């Protein structure tokens, strides 16, 4: 069996008395690309917080790389890009390279200069996200899609084995979302990285993922291949009163979905 990166069994998470996740069980293996979708308020970001150890659970178990999450210390193996990473002061006086270099820092290295190896890793990360020519530009001069790629590069400089993206393409236009799909594929090909990506873009998720997690307090899990029908998990989470409309997409090998209520 392939190595488990994350393994959740019977997980329950609460905010006060509000049950945010209920009896969640699934396994993410090395090399997976997992698309996490679901209605607003269904618990997608809560699920990431549980997986990252930011939210204690009240029942069940969470393992990361085979170890109980309470004992896991090697967080450098996991890269994370938050939902609102690009929302900062547009006149912040930092270059693309300087922001990405922050990913090399740790408590032990604060105040120290970057090593030659660190600088080379920054260069590689910028090459991977197609931003090396912009390395000396101020971040306020870049587009929304470019800013998002800056923070993905920042997460990549430590060469994590897992990259977790929370709404990485939210608010970005369809062309940028298409480039993001290509970026995921490139990271898989060049670094064999495991990816967990939260998105409202079902089309993009079905283009790139091999596993689908539909979150609405519970997690409805489904493998994605040419024989699977993602509508099964979607209908379990969204309800029978939703209609799933399939349409074509030039990046997809299978038809993506739009959701309509009624």
Give the domain CATH number at 17. 3.40.50.300
Sheet strands side by side (includes 67-68): 18-29, 4-15, 59-64, 67-68
CB 204 within 8 A of CB 235: no
Q: Which residue has the higher pLDDT, 246 or 89?
A: 89
Dmax over Cα atoms in the chain, in whole Å?
A: 58
What pLDDT, on the 0 to 100 scale, is given for residue 171?
Answer: 59
CB 58 within 8 A of CB 45: no
What pLDDT, on the 0 to 100 scale, is given for residue 202?
Answer: 76
Strand partners, 15: 18
Residue 48 has pLDDT above 90, yes or no: yes
CB 157 within 8 A of CB 103: yes
What pLDDT, on the 0 to 100 scale, is given for residue 243?
Answer: 57
Domain hosting 139: range is 4-261
Give the number of domains in the chain.
Answer: 1
Residue 122 has pLDDT above 90, yes or no: yes
What pLDDT, on the 0 to 100 scale, is given for residue 262?
Answer: 47
CB 79 within 8 A of CB 29: no
Mean pLDDT for the chain overall: 82
| Cα-based distances in Å from 52 to 35, 62, 72, 82, 94 | 17, 10, 10, 12, 28
Residue 47 has pLDDT above 90, yes or no: yes
**pLDDT class of 109 with cuts at 50, 70, 90:** low
Report the pLDDT averaged over residues 17-22.
94
What pLDDT, on the 0 to 100 scale, is given for residue 261?
Answer: 47
Residue 106 has pLDDT above 80, yes or no: no
**pLDDT class of 250 with cuts at 50, 70, 90:** very low
CA nearest 255: which of 184, 207, 214?
207
Per mean pLDDT, which of 96-100, 101-105, 113-117 is the most reliable?
Answer: 96-100
């Amino acid at each position: 069996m392939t190595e488990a990166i994350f393994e959740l069994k019977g997980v329950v998470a609460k905010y006060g008395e509000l049950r945010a996740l209920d009896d969640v069980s699934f396994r993410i293996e090395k090399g997976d690309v997992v698309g996490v979708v679901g209605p607003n308020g269904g618990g997608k970001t809560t699920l990431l917080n549980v997986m990252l150890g930011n939210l204690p659970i009240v029942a069940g178990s969470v393992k990361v790389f085979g170890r109980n999450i309470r004992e896991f210390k090697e967080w450098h193996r996991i890269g994370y890009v938050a939902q609102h990473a690009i929302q900062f002061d547009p006149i912040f006086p930092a270059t693309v390279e300087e922001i990405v270099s922050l990913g090399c820092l740790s408590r032990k290295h604060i105040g120290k200069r970057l090593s030659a190896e660190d600088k080379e890793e920054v260069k590689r990360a910028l090459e991977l996200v197609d931003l090396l020519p912009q390395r000396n530009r101020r971040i306020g001069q870049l587009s929304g899609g470019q800013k998002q790629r800056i923070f993905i590069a920042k997460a990549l400089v430590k060469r994590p084995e897992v990259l977790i993206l929370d709404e990485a393409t939210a608010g970005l236009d369809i062309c940028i979302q298409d480039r993001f799909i290509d970026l995921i594929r490139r990271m898989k090909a060049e670094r064999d990285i495991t990816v967990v990506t939260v998105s409202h873009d079902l089309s993009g998720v079905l283009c790139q993922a091999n596993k689908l997690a539909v979150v609405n307090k519970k997690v409805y899990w489904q493998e994605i291949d040419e024989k699977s029908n993602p509508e099964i998990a979607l209908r379990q989470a969204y309800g029978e009163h939703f209609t799933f409309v399939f349409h074509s997409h030039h990046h997809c090998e299978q038809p993506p979905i739009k959701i309509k209520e009624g």
